[in-house]
Structures are given as C-alpha cells and as structure tokens.
Amino acid sequence: MISGKNYIGNVLSSLGNVTYKTFNPETNLENEIVYTEASAIEIETAIALATDAFKTFKLVSGSKKSNFLNEIANEMEALGEELLQTYCSETGLSKDRAIGELGRTVFQLHSFADLVKEGSWVEASMDTANPKRKPIPKVDIRKMFVPLGPVVVFGASNFPLAYSTAGGDTAAAFAAGCPVIVKSHPMHAGTGELVASAIINAALKTGMPNGIFSNLNSSGIAVGETLVKHPQVKAVGFTGSIAGGRALYNMAAQREEPIPVFAEMGSINPVILLPNAVKNKGKEWAKTYANSITLGSGQFCTNPGLILGIKGGDLTSFIQFLSEEIVKIEPTCMLHPNIIGAYENNKAKMQAQKGLKTTAVTNKNVANNYGRQVITTVEGSTFLENTTLHQEVFGPFSMVVQCESTQQLEEIISKLEGQLTGTILANNNEIEDYSTIVSALQNRVGRIIFNGVPTGVEVCPSMVHGGPYPASTDSRFTAVGVNSIKRWVRPFSFQNWPNKLLPNELKNENPLNITRLVDGVQTRKPI
C-alpha cells in the first residue's frame, strides 16, 4: 500500500503542504495517489536522524551490513506485482523491463553484500613499528577505508529501481557504512515509496539504527537544494541531466565545507565507424545500431547519439541502411510527458541547425508519449563549427557525421566533451592503422568498446560507468560495479593505536581473515 508520505527514518510522515501526483505515460493520465513533498522540518529531522545513526552504523560489522543489504533485496522481491505494476504505471516501460531492472537491482545489492561480508574492500594496510630505525624510530601506522557520513542520493528518471531508491548509489553507501537520504524522483514516487518500505523493513529486521535511511518526496528543486547545502550531509550521488548535476555540483562546491558530488550525467557515446567495417559490414552494423539507438526508447545514458565515419559511398550506404532499419522498429512509450516534450524540443532545435539533414523519421501515427526515432547526418566541418550539434538529444535520436578525412575525424574526437563510452567498429586488423584515433577517443571516455554497442552496462568489478566531465563530475570514480563504494569512503590512519582498540580489520590477529598489505606484502596472515 502506497501512502504518499515520506519516510523520515522509520516513520511515515506528511507534514507539508505541497502535493503532487505521478503520471502514466501509457494511458496519458495522472495516477491517483497523492504525494506530499517533504517539509523543512521533515528534511531537518531526516538529517538529524542520519547524523545520529552514523555514529553507530559506521561501526556495524561487514557481516551485519551484508545481512541488511541481502534483506533489502529480499524485501524488494517480496513486493511482487505491486512493485512491477507501480513501476510500469509510472514509466510507460514494459513489465519485462521492470522484471529485468529489478533483477539488476537485486544483483547489485547482493554484490555489495558479498563485498562487505568478505571484507577486504577496506584495503587494510599496516606498516609495523621499528623502534631501532635510525635516525628516528619508525611508528606503527595502520590504514583502512571509513565511511564519509550521511549521503544524499538523487534517483534517476530512467532507472526507477537500479539507479534510484535502493539502486547502485544507495547500495554502495550502505555497504560503506553511510546513512542515506533519498530525494525521491517525482516521476516515480510510488515505486520509490515501495522500495523505501523494503529498505525500512530490512533495516528493522536486521537491527539497523533508525535514521540510516529516509525517503523524501519532492516535486521541485527545493528539497534537493536544502539537502545538498546542509552541513551534516557529507556526499551526494546523482544520475540525470548535465544541468541538474552541475547545479548540485556547484552548490556543493560553494558550501563552507565543500563535499564530493558524484553526478553521472549526459553522454552522446560516439561510435567510430572505420572504413573497412562500413564497407564490409555496413548493413549488419546498421541493423545492430538501429536496435541500440531505439532500445528503451533511447532513454539510456549509453545511447549511441553520434556516429562518426569517413565520407564516401560506403558511409552513404550505411546511412541509408540505418535509416531503413530504424523506421521498421515500432516506437515505444517514453517515460513522461516532460521527457518526450524535451525530446521533441531538442530534436527540433537540432533539426533547425544549418547543414543537418534528417534521413529517417518515423512518420506513422503513434500513441501519446511514444517517441518517434530519427536519424540525421551532417558534414564534419559543419559539426566542428557548431557545438550545438555536440549536445545530447535524450531519446531515440542519432547523428551520423561524415568526416572529410582521418585528420578531421581525430580533430572532432579531440573536441568532443567527456563521454561515458566510445566505440570503434573495425574490420579485422584495420584498427591498428588508426592508433591516433583510438588514443584520442580514450582521452574523452570512461569505457571503450570494440565491435559492439555501448548500450548494456555490465555490473562487474571491471566496469567503469563514468568518464571525463560532463559524463561525470569526477572521472576518478565509477557509478557501476562494487568499486563505486569508493565514492563514499576515505582512508583513515591509526598511529601507535592499542591493538585491542583497533577495528577488527586492523588487529594483529586478523580476526576477519581479510587480505591486508602488511609491510608491503599482501597477505591474510596475522601479525
């Protein structure tokens, strides 16, 4: 049962006056439940509870945090049909997608549970004392990661489960030992509340302190702004637009005590089509890319919005194939009238740019809120001159740039903004002749793909989902995979600290049996 209220710690609360509803883009109607935006006093209470909870949560063992994370996954799965139906009614996405994304979310929670149960993630390091060292004795120093403090998480419109309430940012923060306050995404407030209830139930079942989690409804920017500016908030996670992420980054940087903001933002995910690939496999790649561009109505961060090739007959054929293939695909529902509204505006703005030609557009009648896919093309020199053409059009839209030469291709790549991904499509050994192209592309991206599509972000330790600005606000971290925990922790040293008072991770006897760096050697042995 969705109440429309906020979770202020373990308590449902609705003291505010601002209310709103979610929208079903498939039926083109508002959903019925009324949500009450968190009021100033509720925000303050949530932060005070989180600050207090941090004092005990930071000391909770990896084993207990693991139980908590696994229990969140169980509770989410136990929500069953209500969660899936709410998800679909608030996003226009299919039930299969809901099931898939729930599976991904549950997998992420279990991954972090396994990580903290095993325990070596804290990167324990110990340099033991040497009282005989000259000219001065060597002290005993031991280090491990400790949590930063309360983290604010902004849910993503396009991933109501995997990158929202109990998504990657939250799971990583809990694993680290940080309380989380979620600024719920207004487009899927019901999904958010259900998942929040799962977190609260899991916290109660596994004995976690009240305040470890709050879920704040919000329809505008005020709640988020209050949270990010609050002195007791110590870090921020965000997935969304460049404008939104940058605004939060700026607020955090202007605080008296600046705090880290990890914002995963826009990307056009350039794809480089090398000459032999387009010549020999142009038709196949066109079909593959028509599917990638339209996957999830083009509403993925890794959607390929830019395809770069060398001008000529083969590229012309590729554009034709891609245009033919993409119109064969049935349009699908987009997330919200605001999302499709922005898509239509950005598309129109792009199509109004001088020199941009539209080569394919789905003209058939579609239901309200369904996104019509579009392929466009432009000359390399035009693209270079007009940086408006470098901007993301969030939706099933892509642009093929016809470069004059390899030199121009390299110049274009080097002038792109930072990207989540870059892809090279090449035939056999052709890529070896384009090492400067590859090098330039590596400089601009967080992940580089050979002969594949950028959509599909594998959850595994080797994944980087991030990249140079504006793909993210800090390319030194990833939003996906267990290493994303490093966004929410800091290294901490104990000097000459009594063994019995050290955390278990750093005790001589290594009671947790974790891997540690002892005097420069990785080992599980006790000291």
Question: Which residues does the annotation mark as catalytic?
Answer: 264, 301
- 294 is a site residue for a copy of itself (CB under 8 A): no
What secondary structure letter does DSSP report for 148? -
Instruction: Tell me which stretch binds a copy of itself (CB under 8 A): 2-10, 11-19, 282-290, 443-451.
Output: 443-451
Candidate residues 344, 379, 411, 474; the one interacting with a copy of itself per rule CB under 8 A: 474
Tell me the CA distances in angstroms from 416 to 112, 310, 388, one per residue in order. Answer: 34, 17, 11
- 337 is a site residue for a copy of itself (CB under 8 A): no
Check if the beta carbon of residue 279 is closer than 8 Å to that of residue 496.
Answer: no
Instruction: Tell me which stretch binds a copy of itself (CB under 8 A): 85-93, 165-173, 307-315, 452-460.
Output: 452-460
Q: What is the DSSP string of 404-420?
A: SSHHHHHHHHHHSPPEE
* CB-count burial class (<10 Å; 0-12, 13-18, 19+) for 405: exposed
Q: What tokens does 295 get?
A: 């996957």
Residues 403-422 that bind a copy of itself (CB under 8 A): 417-418
Provide, rounded to whole angstroms, the least separation between the CB of residue 40 and a copy of itself.
23
Candidates 21, 207, 237, 195; CA nearest to 109 is 195
Query: Please, which residue, 55 or 354, has the CB nearer to a copy of itself?
Result: 55
Other CB atoms within 10 A of residue 349 CB = 12
- 432 is a site residue for a copy of itself (CB under 8 A): yes
- 342 is a site residue for a copy of itself (CB under 8 A): no
Taking the C-alpha atoms of residue 400 and residue 334, their distance in angstroms, rounded to an integer, is 23
- 284 is a site residue for a copy of itself (CB under 8 A): no
Taking the C-alpha atoms of residue 466 and residue 478, their distance in angstroms, rounded to an integer, is 5
- 20 is a site residue for a copy of itself (CB under 8 A): no
Q: Would you say how long the chain is, in residues?
A: 527
Candidate residues 285, 446, 479, 510; the one interacting with a copy of itself per rule CB under 8 A: 446
Candidates 169, 174, 165; CA nearest to 62 is 174
Query: Please, which residue, 68 or 249, has the CB nearer to a copy of itself?
Result: 249
- 491 is a site residue for a copy of itself (CB under 8 A): yes
Taking the C-alpha atoms of residue 427 and residue 447, their distance in angstroms, rounded to an integer, is 20
Query: Please, which residue, 322 or 464, has the CB nearer to a copy of itself?
Result: 464
Residues 104-133 that bind a copy of itself (CB under 8 A): 125-127
Query: Please, which residue, 96 or 385, has the CB nearer to a copy of itself?
Result: 96
Provide, rounded to whole angstroms, the least separation between the CB of residue 427 and a copy of itself.
12
Candidate residues 62, 211, 260, 282; the one interacting with a copy of itself per rule CB under 8 A: 260
Q: What tokens does 79 get?
A: 């929500």
Candidate residues 63, 458, 511, 526; the one interacting with a copy of itself per rule CB under 8 A: 458
- 494 is a site residue for a copy of itself (CB under 8 A): yes
Provide, rounded to whole angstroms, the least separation between the CB of residue 32 and a copy of itself.
34
Tell me the CA distances in angstroms from 62 to 105, 113, 526, one per residue in order. Answer: 20, 8, 19
Tell me the CA distances in angstroms from 389 to 167, 349, 409, 446, one per residue in order. Answer: 32, 9, 15, 21
Report how many helices (DSSP H) and strands (DSSP E) the chain contains, helices first: 14, 25
**How many binding residues for a copy of itself (CB under 8 A)?**
71
Instruction: Tell me which stretch binds a copy of itself (CB under 8 A): 183-191, 254-262, 283-291, 342-350.
Output: 254-262
